[in-house]
Chain A
């Protein structure tokens, strides 16, 4: 009872390859999109989780801008929020009671050279000594930027492994001199390897004292954000209170009125997660929309093909009825056929999506991971679409009058 309609559907698919492909295009595209989007979301989830882990525990940042997702807020914030300064950091350091450490970091991109080797556009991060407790880079050899370096505006550097491996592949980099923008800095420490995220190495950095950075390159153009102020709390329990304290202090310092918006940003790993949830929601909504439209289109095409098939095979239906097929036998036959068609479409879509995902992962840094659930869901959905859109043609077939059907052609 099952085998026959399945065989008929598969034989029909095989004998009209191009037509079948076109028929199933809607389903194929929907499943492709569904799996693609779910793979991207899954991959990004992993990426975000890693990013959040890199943020440092019990750490938040006070910055010029909060996380902004639209242009209007951006323009307003640009007018309202002054650039952050080292004085802001000192102000918070003096007054905050709930902060264990307060630090700041600002950055430029400069070329770094040693001997004949040079690296373009390395992240040069001017930092306070306290940042060693706040950000996640750890010392592997030598030392971090020290208090005395900071006060003396010393020409010293704490560097990432990407820098040492490229500039000093064979010798111990400690004590060696690198030239940043042509100016000599002594390497006093090397960081532990961080690894790469999204195919981008995270070890291509040079830390120098923030005071040195400001002395050499000034405070940067007005549109710059200025330094990020990092604040670390002793425990997660006081995070919320500490953020409130920082907000109150900064509002006082900015002389803000009760109902003014904050003229600065407060960013915790939570805000990253929230941002991600927003993006995620956006992607998911668009994907659901696109996939639904394609599925409906795909379903309608299948319905049309099945209607044509019913017309084409009216006589066959009459013959079957004359031999004792009941309505439900005919109904089942065409329903099975429609769902076999759409399931094959789903399978093709799954294979195409798996192929594309593998290709993307191999050739680009975009993180993608196909969850098994996505594959199962897609196949279930495509079978369901075939069943649903097969109902009308199948009913039409089942209701045919045997005498009229036998006379067809």
Chain B
């Protein structure tokens, strides 16, 4: 196996803010809190940070909304002196991490502060804006293909792809239910999760529908919150406070002829399938070596698509694999979203999954710790973007 650059990079620090279902702290303050905690956790000082990256791009001097902490604002607030910085599109919510790895490999930076800050409870959502009345807004870009049909949400788009997959392979809502039910059980062991009380099959099947096949419990929980990680050059992290959690492989590919939610040649696949294939080409490890999976669950079915994309089972077999939840439970063969995921912990939008993977690989997951864990996989995104990371606590 070639010596790819990611194998010389690691996660050295983790930070997470409080997770607020109701708006109570200004979202930018949550981002600052997460960043300071990550630097402290790594055993670094602010002056050690020489790179910064977030996703997506944010507006400077606007610390709320879907992207609540722009690079410039964090730089100014912390007094960072940066050799390199990045924001904007990329391999979904892992763009900052994957770009940071590249920057480290290129020698631009040694310790890169990466974050994702969401402040979507602080400001009214799109549907609230519509409820206020008045003329409907014009839509541009991708939304022009969906919003004119009163399908403005990724819930609708994911439902259309999921519907095709369910129809083709005979997958049922009773099978899907295993994901929110198991993740809620995990959230019961996570003091930071928003929803911690058990979820039953009856409650799942009786819940109000959002857009078939998704009910309320298939949709993640919007919140205000922020997650930060420090990505470091491996040799510069060896003597820091925490054991470095190494990147074994990165997947950030886009190879289909027409990548939209619906136009792919291999529909109902998504770009995550490209990312997953690219990731496995960069390592000798195989799906059987993975001890825990931390997969994007903005909607239940995205985690199911990720399981198939990563090759944990054959195409169309994910329903049978997750049915009843035994295999994906904490003591099962492939524990899934051990923190409760976005369906229960809260919609920290991708970096929450990386945070949990690293916590597990360090052995710091408390009551929900997976035993004898060596390799974890995490994948984020759905539709027209995706990014995957394979992580390990084993030395190179």
Q: Do A and B come from one complex?
A: no
Residues of B within 8 A of A (CB): none
